[in-house]
Amino acid sequence: MNILTLPIVGTLARWRYVRPALQLVLLFAAAAVVLHGLFGPQLGPRNLATVLTSIHWRGLLIIAIAAAGNLFCTACPMVLARDGARHILHPKLRWPRWLRGKWLGMALLVLVLFSYELFDLWSHPRATAWLVLGYFGLAILVDVLFTGASFCKHLCPIGQFNFMASTMAPTELRVSDLNTCRTCKTSDCIKGRYSTTEPKRLERRGCELGLFLPLKVGNLDCTMCLDCVHACPHDNIALETRVPGAELLETGRRSGIGRLLRRIDVATLALVFTFAAFLNAFAMTSPAYVVEQRVAEMIGVRSEAPALALVFLLGLVVLPGLLLGAAAVLTWAFDRARAHSLQATFVRYAYALVPVGFGMWLAHYGFHLFTGVFAVVPVVQSALVDAFGQPLLGQPLWGWVGLQPGTVFPIQLGCVMLGAAGSIGLVQAISRREYPAAPNVASAPWLVLVALLLTTAAWILAQPMEMRAVSFIG
């Protein structure tokens, strides 16, 4: 089904200014986060900077991807800011070839997750405000120097997270009719549409992330900006519904990406995405502090940074390496024909874990959203009292929070179980494709791994929550 042909939603999505309108909403929210973060009360639960980012932005982002698509990249206010900056400074440089790929963006993603834990950003409004300002500054700086959407494609850590998560989205932008593309002489979807009169002027920009629509497969690197929809002179781009995760089985060449099975960086991003979901959720439980303190005692330190760094190293490198390595060795050993190398086996199945990782992100961020969705109401009421000295929206209702944590637990379990079911389906499909003679034998180690991840997810979600912001050792 093409969403763009639906009444109301389709009309709205086709409206040329839908993106700037959404971006303005998030720009307003970002301005509120920065101003309240810098000048408002420095208590996490009483400040818009920490409430909006920790509860609403993260939760709505992942739920939007699960329900519709990569809407938060669509509405990214940093692209609006850099578009404004590009009216003054025009980028001339191309992003260096040696910096292309996902390594840099992935490293920044890990750095953001690490900083969130180390500096307890959920409880520091001013630090959150500076992080948002820094993010805007970096995005603008990169994109006034380098052409296209260099920041989005190569650097943005949230973007890399969204790209991987949106492989699980139920929609995808793709061409409606390939025959129309075969007769197209202008390729406006990637080059942009120019005026017919001299001097030629760009009227609609094409895909800034280098995705040529006739060869585009899936949502990787797609910000759902809808530029291609507006640029195509043949009205040949559709926002189609699809089976979430099925694109991870596509082995053909993708525009802007290449072949997924040859992209070690993208496969590594898939693993970081998956295991970071577990690490990020684990970090908010009581056992996490016991582990962190044991690690600190083991290496003889009293500061959090080295202990946390070691926990991250174990959770994102050592553990995934051991688990996937063991599964890959078993599958490789079972395959007497040696159809694939050990590394190729590892990469092929790495993508199969994305659904269970997505389920864990959904369970974790959905928990915070459902249990704290109304927390923004008293914070806004309080901000108005502070700003105008009058309770314009009434006295702050601090008791307004959200659902009881216990009531959300079944929903969380449902999320990770659905994710695990998706991973099982992908493992089976990969095995049937790669090892048609004995797919069940090839699948066995990976199914055990998915079961292990599901069990771990259920254990983490059942742990008592413990959020620390000022104390570490002792």
For residue 92, count other CB atoms closer than 10 A to its CB.
9
Residue 343 binds another protein, judged by CB under 8 A: no
Cα(109)–Cα(317) distance, rounded to whole angstroms? 14
Q: Give least dist CB 66 to another protein, A.
A: 20
Omega within 30 of 0 (cis) for the link into 439: no
Identity of the residue, 99 or 462, whose beta carbon is nearer to another protein in the bound complex = 462
Q: Give the range of 208-216, 437-445, 449-457, 460-468 binding another protein by CB under 8 A.
A: 460-468
The residue from 199, 399, 406, 410 that contacts another protein (CB under 8 A) is 399
Residue 62 binds another protein, judged by CB under 8 A: no
Cα(451)–Cα(456) distance, rounded to whole angstroms? 9
Which residue, among 213, 211, 194, has the nearest Cα to 202 in the 3D structure?
A: 194
Cα(473)–Cα(53) distance, rounded to whole angstroms? 27
Residue 411 binds another protein, judged by CB under 8 A: no
Q: Give the range of 2-10, 305-313, 355-363, 370-378 binding another protein by CB under 8 A.
A: 370-378
Residue 199 binds another protein, judged by CB under 8 A: no
Q: Give the range of 235-243, 292-300, 366-374, 433-441 binding another protein by CB under 8 A.
A: 366-374
User: Which distant-in-sequence residues (6+ apart) come within 8 Å of 142 by Cβ?
Assistant: 150, 151, 155
Sign of the dihedral defined by the CA atoms of residues 196, 201, 205, 206, in that order: positive
Cα(263)–Cα(242) distance, rounded to whole angstroms? 24
The residue from 3, 18, 22, 32 that contacts another protein (CB under 8 A) is 32
Residue 55 binds another protein, judged by CB under 8 A: yes
The residue from 78, 226, 261, 284 that contacts another protein (CB under 8 A) is 284
Identity of the residue, 63 or 339, whose beta carbon is nearer to another protein in the bound complex = 63
Extract the tokens encoding 149.
Answer: 């959407």
Residue 331 binds another protein, judged by CB under 8 A: no
DSSP H/E element including 259: strand 258-259
Cα(167)–Cα(448) distance, rounded to whole angstroms? 23
Number of residues in contact with another protein under rule CB under 8 A: 52
- CA angle, corner 463, sides to 457 and 468, nearest 5? 115
Looking at this protein, which amino acid is placed at residue 214?
P
For residue 233, count other CB atoms closer than 10 A to its CB.
12
Residue 36 binds another protein, judged by CB under 8 A: yes
R_g over Cα of the chain:
23
Q: Give the range of 35-43, 93-101, 329-337, 406-414 binding another protein by CB under 8 A.
A: 35-43
Residue 462 binds another protein, judged by CB under 8 A: no
Could you tell me where the DSSP H helices lie in 56-208? 58-67, 71-74, 77-85, 103-118, 125-145, 150, 157-165, 178-182, 188-191
Residue 306 CA: distances (Å) to CA of 112, 166, 300, 470: 16, 33, 10, 17
For residue 410, count other CB atoms closer than 10 A to its CB.
9
Identity of the residue, 237 or 379, whose beta carbon is nearer to another protein in the bound complex = 379
The residue from 85, 144, 246, 384 that contacts another protein (CB under 8 A) is 384
Residue 466 binds another protein, judged by CB under 8 A: yes
Q: Give the range of 95-103, 191-199, 259-267, 373-381 binding another protein by CB under 8 A.
A: 373-381
Q: Give least dist CB 308 to another protein, A.
A: 16
Residue 459 binds another protein, judged by CB under 8 A: no
Residue 156 binds another protein, judged by CB under 8 A: no
Site for another protein in 115-154 (CB under 8 A): 120, 122-123
The residue from 17, 90, 92, 200 that contacts another protein (CB under 8 A) is 17
Identity of the residue, 15 or 134, whose beta carbon is nearer to another protein in the bound complex = 15
Please answer whether residues 379 and 48 qualify as being in contact, where contact means their C-beta atoms are separated by less than 8 angstroms.
yes
Written as one string, the DSSP assignment of 169-200 is -SEEEEES-HHHHHT-SS-HHHH-EE-SSSSP
Identity of the residue, 426 or 461, whose beta carbon is nearer to another protein in the bound complex = 461
Residue 402 binds another protein, judged by CB under 8 A: yes
Residue 386 binds another protein, judged by CB under 8 A: yes
User: Which distant-in-sequence residues (6+ apart) come within 8 Å of 448 by Cβ?
Assistant: 327
Residue 286 binds another protein, judged by CB under 8 A: yes
Q: How many residues would you count in the chain?
A: 474
Q: Give least dist CB 155 to another protein, A.
A: 24
Residue 464 binds another protein, judged by CB under 8 A: yes
Site for another protein in 68-97 (CB under 8 A): 84, 87
Q: What residues line the site for another protein (CB under 8 A)?
A: 17, 24, 27-28, 31-32, 35-36, 39-41, 43-48, 50-51, 54-55, 84, 87, 120, 122-123, 284, 286, 368, 371-373, 375, 380, 383-384, 386-389, 398-399, 401-402, 464-471
